[in-house]
Amino acid sequence: MTRTKMLAALFGATAMMTGPALAEPAEDTLNLNDEIELVTWTEPSEALDGALTEVISGWHFRGDETRAMQADDFDNPGMMFADQARETWDMVDGAAGKSCASCHGDVDESMKGVRAVYPKWNETAGEVRTLEMQVNACRTEQMQAEPWKYTGEDMINMTALISAVSRGMPMNVAIDGPARETWEKGKDIYYTRFGQLELSCANCHEDNYGRMIRADHLSQGQINGFPTYRLKDAKLVAAQHRFRGCIRDTRAETFAVGSPEFIALELYVASRGNGLSVEGPSVRN
Amino acid sequence: MKRTIIALSLAGMATSVTAAEIAPGDVAFEDGAITVSLTGQPGDPARGREVLGSRSLGNCVACHANSEMADIPFHGEIGPMLDGTGDRWTEAELRGIVANAKEMFPGSMMPSFYRVDGYTRPGNAFTGKAADETFGPLLTAQQIEDVVAYLVTLKD
């Protein structure tokens, strides 16, 4: 951290003289609503096994305006969608005549900390579940309602709400025990060079974060800020949407959202960000 | 594939003695270099310059900065600057690097622009769908020659 700061200062001085765009992650602090200071730059967890020397939220790689938008709930367009899910939370749906609130009560209380530990091993089902899978398990099993579409509006708004109430808590997904096998599979995918361009996630987000790739400033591809409100698309984007886009950009045949491959990849990528604060819904350009 | 054959036979008609285009699978590398032209024809540096800058062609500037192309916005910082590559490398070496950089730099992040085999889940361009029968190398043999003709002009 100190070395990076020194470097940034040096580069800053050079930039003032010569004027090129800086590709260093911005030195800044994310004070959410001027109330909580989020951890956006920290030590790597054991999940990384030395692959990174520092763990940095994607927030640092975005411009001043985008960073400022995320810092204030009134300016963050993602919060509108999270608030829409508050109504859904209380709404009865399905043959059992229940709402989310019937079982879980107050969302701010009961869901606090949930985002931070997902994807997570479910003992009864004997599988690793993403937040989307768990929401749909509640809908079908507890409420006897139709599952939501994995990428549908209801689902992403709900995951935005569940993330929002955990903001500031450290990401802490478990990678040992029965989740290990899935995690290993996700790790394999992370380091596979897909497509005709033969690029792995690691090529861009581990070896080259901080550098420009054409007009984009490469981040570490962390998902502590997901779902994210993407200004370019004017909507919320789930982590697996982003994975699909990144794999497509390598001229590869992508995996489907909700596929076993993407579930494994989501667990692995989430674990790379263990220690960063939950930020979702974040704002990206 | 079919198009290449038609193009070849057309070229064959135009000039009676044309060296056959070397197919991606038949390219011979010597220490990462390719000594003969892939088309038997000289490249066109102006067209090569377009290939480097265009997103839909080589998109080389996505990863490389190049002072001579200051008219084109947003150069990347992934690979070395291309300034002076014509001094650092011979034409044969540049042809090898552009056709398949992994021969010169094992494990390189630079894509192989003239290769068709050995990919993991190759797609149909940027559709996200599986590759179909239209799958071909990223650049044609002539485009590789055009890029090489441009790169040799980059002298310090």
ipTM of predicted assembly, 2 dp: 0.91
Of the residues A197, A208, A248, the best mutation for testing chain B's interface (the one with the most B CB atoms within 10 Å of its CB) is A197
A249 shares contact with chain B (CB less than 8 Å): yes
Computed from CA positions of residues B10, B13, B15, B18, in that sequence, does the dihedral angle turn out positive or negative?
A: positive
pLDDT per residue over A86-118, tens digit each?
A: 999 999 999 999 999 999 999 999 999 999 999
CA distance A259 to A244: 11
A281: cis peptide before it, omega within 30°?
Answer: yes
Q: Could you tell me which residues come within 8 angstroms of residue A182 by beta carbon, excluding any fewer than 6 positions away?
A: A119, A128, A263, A264, A267
Give the nearest chain A residue to B113 (CA atoms): A197
Nearest to B62 among A192, A214, A244 (CB): A214
Q: Is A103 a catalytic residue?
A: no
A208 contacts in chain B (CB < 8 Å): 78, 109
CA contacts within 13 A on the Cβ side of A178: 11
Q: What is the pTM of this model?
A: 0.92
Average pLDDT, chain B: 91
Chain B nearest CA to A64, separation (Å): 19
CA distance A149 to A131: 13
Burial class of residue A7 in the structure, from the number of CB atoms within 10 Å of its CB (0-12 exposed, 13-18 middle, 19+ buried):
exposed
Query: How many other C-beta atoms are found inside a 10 Å radius of the C-beta of residue A100?
Result: 25
Of the residues B66, B109, B116, the best mutation for testing chain A's interface (the one with the most A CB atoms within 10 Å of its CB) is B109
Quickly list DSSP for B130-144: BP-TT---SS-HHHH
CA distance A249 to A241: 13
pLDDT per residue over A130-187, tens digit each?
A: 999 999 999 999 999 999 999 999 999 999 999 999 999 999 999 999 999 999 999 9
Chain A nearest CA to B49, separation (Å): 16
